[in-house]
Structures are given as C-alpha cells and as structure tokens.
Amino acid sequence: MRTVGQVEPKLERIGDVVLLDMGAGEKRFNPASIAAMNAALDEVESMIAAGDQIAMVTTGSDKFFTNGIDLDWMFGPDAQAAPETIPDFIASMMGMWARVLALPIPTVAAVNGHAFAGGAMFVLAHDHVLMRSDRGFWCVNEVLLKLPLAPGMQAILEAKLPKQTLRKAILTAHRFDAASAVAAGIADEAHDGAVLRDRAVELAQALAPTAHPILGRLKEDLYVDALATLRAGDVPALT
C-alpha cells in the first residue's frame, strides 16, 4: 500500500497528557492508517489499564488535521481497494472513532488545519475541540462527493452538532472556519497556530483528574445511540 498522505501517528507524553500526533500531509484514512491509529490507541489504553490518570490530545502538522477517507485508494485510477472490502474498511474506521469517543479519559482535538468529511467526523469523536484560527476549515462534503453517509457517520454528527449546524453541514457542505465553527457549536475554542497545541495540552492537563472508569460510563450513557451505531458498522451502497 502506498504511504503518501496516510496517518502515521506518534505518541508523546507531556506531564499527564498523551499527545497523539498524526503526522504531516493529508493524513487520509485507509486500512494502514486505521491500523496505525488503533495501535496508538492500544498504547493509550495500556497506560489507562496501568492506572495512569491521563488525558489525550490529537493533532497533526502541516495544512491538514485529516482530509478524511483516502478516495484515491478507494476509487482512483490506481485504486487498491477491492470493492467488496470497502464496507469492512469503513466499518473499521467508524469503530476507531467509537474507541476515541468512549475513552475513559478526557480527549481534545487540536485541529491544526483542514478537517474534511471523515476527518470532520473524527474531530467530533473528541470531548473538546480547539481549532486553528488562522488556517483550516471543518467541512462535511459528502454532498459534493456524491456519497451517502453511513449510519454511524450520521449518528456522530447528530450526537455532537446543534440541529441548525447539522442541516447546514450535511446539505450545503459549508466550510466552517474556526470562528464560525465556535459560533456553530462545532468547536469550543479558536487559537492562533502558534499556540494551538500548547493550549490543547494545557486544557487536557487541567482535565486529566477527571480520567476514571466512571468517565467512560458517562460517555457510554451520553452517546449510547451513536456508539451503538458506530460499532454496528453498517455501510450503505456507495451510489
């Protein structure tokens, strides 16, 4: 499998915060990306199991936070995806989102750049969202791609977004910059790129004392329908 633009996560410990840096480039989701993200989450969960009271910040570098599904891998002229494998891949991606959504620790997305389609939904798997104010858009652009939303995708959007924002995001593919994302209830804070990561770590550090199995239970209860739908992994025909 080609590696250009896929997610290549690295973990760094900063006090009580685990920084999950997804790397550079477009950071698109394909099977290798999901396997790498799940391996990183395995490490985070091993820290939790060992009794570490931690929080997690997810971020990246360059122009993109993540540009969503690797459409070149899936549909491009040199596509590597066998059509019959696509539903399982999309299910695995939604399963990874569910892992993040249900972690029994505080999670913060430090959105360093563009977050489109599946990348925009992955942002919402985090408890708190900080966006870069001087670059990047959050956008659900399936209507432009002529692709349906899987039930899990619809569920995470419905669980996290106000109704007006949900309608605008899904039906118009509106590109929300940081200020409009905060106003629309997508993001919690907007910061200059020079301080975004530090502010995210600061927030995560402050929230780390809430890490506990009960936090995971509260998330399971708060997002019961979204988690069930994400974990079910149902995928519609892509036409």
Q: Burial, 1: exposed, middle or buried (Cβ in 10 Å; 0-12, 13-18, 19+)?
A: exposed
CB atoms < 10 A from the CB of 172, how many? 13
pLDDT in the model for residue 6? 82
- Listed in order, strand segments (DSSP E) in 60-124 are 64-66, 107-111, 114-116
Distance CA 155, CA 173 (A): 17
Mean pLDDT value of segment 122-134: 98
Q: Burial, 63: exposed, middle or buried (Cβ in 10 Å; 0-12, 13-18, 19+)?
A: middle
The percent of residues above 90 in pLDDT, for the chain, comes to: 89
pLDDT in the model for residue 237? 81
The percent of residues above 70 in pLDDT, for the chain, comes to: 95
